[in-house]
Amino acid sequence: MFVLEVLNITERMVNLGFYQNESELLKLIDPIIPMLDGSNDFHSKEEEEGFNRIMAENAEINTLVNKNNRKRQIFKRDKNIRYKSSEDNANIVLIKRKIIDILHRFMDIQDDIRLTTFLIEFYKSDNEMIHNPVESAKELHFLHRVLSGNYDPEEDQEIKHSCDEKIINWMRTSFLNKNLDMLFQSKQKDLICILLDIILYQDSKMVNSAFTLLTKYFT
């Protein structure tokens, strides 16, 4: 359970604000994503020992000059057994649940960072309008008409387009930094596929959490 305790500490550090920006968050998720990938899991100690034995034998074959027709062995495993709930994989499921919980928090922090950046751009524009009333008169007049319900789509089309472009630029600025795009770049792992794989597990709590995370990303 050492890994689970480390993840608990990581989650508390995230919640307490030890990681302040997206760059730090990206560095933090790099080591935990592989643990979420179920294709790396062993459902029992015997399976792991069998895998290690075959890997050792294959490594020995690679070092031989005269292999004497010895062929590399392929480790055969039941790919579906990891999805079933059992005592053997109970700790693995707990670890995966915790990782998904941490990723939920990462997504929340990402949204907070982007919203803060957007509001900063809004504040800068608002100050500029206040300190340059002559240049901003047309835009201020348009906003007043919109708020008062006197907006004319045809007459105000040009200024509306200008305001739309300004808001779009605020959005672009808020998305400029690296973001948690659900892709684990360093290992070429697609986190979306990993979460879809998690949905196949016979653990309703983990499945619901993974599905919610996918929904949050795509909405």
Which has more pLDDT, 30 or 13?
A: 13
Give the pLDDT of residue 69: 63
- When mean pLDDT is compared over 70-74, 113-117, 178-182, 185-189, the highest value belongs to 113-117
> Are both 117 and 97 inside the same structural domain?
yes
Taking 50 as the threshold, does the pLDDT of residue 186 lie above it? no
> Are both 54 and 21 inside the same structural domain?
no
In a domain, 67, yes or no: yes
The distance of Cα 173 from the centroid of its chain, to the nearest Å, equals 20
In a domain, 205, yes or no: yes
Nearest Cα neighbor of 14 from 22, 94, 148, 131 is 22
> Are both 114 and 190 inside the same structural domain?
yes
Give the pLDDT of residue 179: 55
In a domain, 84, yes or no: no
What is the total count of domains within the chain?
2
Taking 70 as the threshold, does the pLDDT of residue 160 lie above it? yes
Q: Where are the alpha helices (DSSP H) in the chain?
A: 2-15, 22-29, 33-36, 45-63, 90-131, 133-148, 157-174, 191-198, 204-218
Q: Is pTM, for the whole model, over 0.75? A: no
Give the pLDDT of residue 65: 53
Give the pLDDT of residue 198: 93
Over range 159-181, report the average pLDDT.
Answer: 78
In a domain, 208, yes or no: yes
Q: Residue 61 sits in which domain range?
A: 44-77
Q: What would the two tokens of residue 29 be? A: 């998720």
In a domain, 82, yes or no: no
**Coil, strand, or helix at residue 183?**
strand
Q: Which of 56, 77, 98 finishes a domain?
A: 77
In a domain, 83, yes or no: no
> Are both 192 and 136 inside the same structural domain?
yes
CA distances from 46 to 1, 9, 57, 193 (A): 19, 31, 17, 28
Q: How many residues does the chain have?
A: 219
> Are both 163 and 114 inside the same structural domain?
yes
> Are both 52 and 141 inside the same structural domain?
no
> Are both 164 and 100 inside the same structural domain?
yes
- Cα separation, 185 vs 191, in Å, equals 10
> Are both 96 and 145 inside the same structural domain?
yes
> Are both 58 and 145 inside the same structural domain?
no
In a domain, 72, yes or no: yes
In a domain, 157, yes or no: yes
> Are both 73 and 137 inside the same structural domain?
no
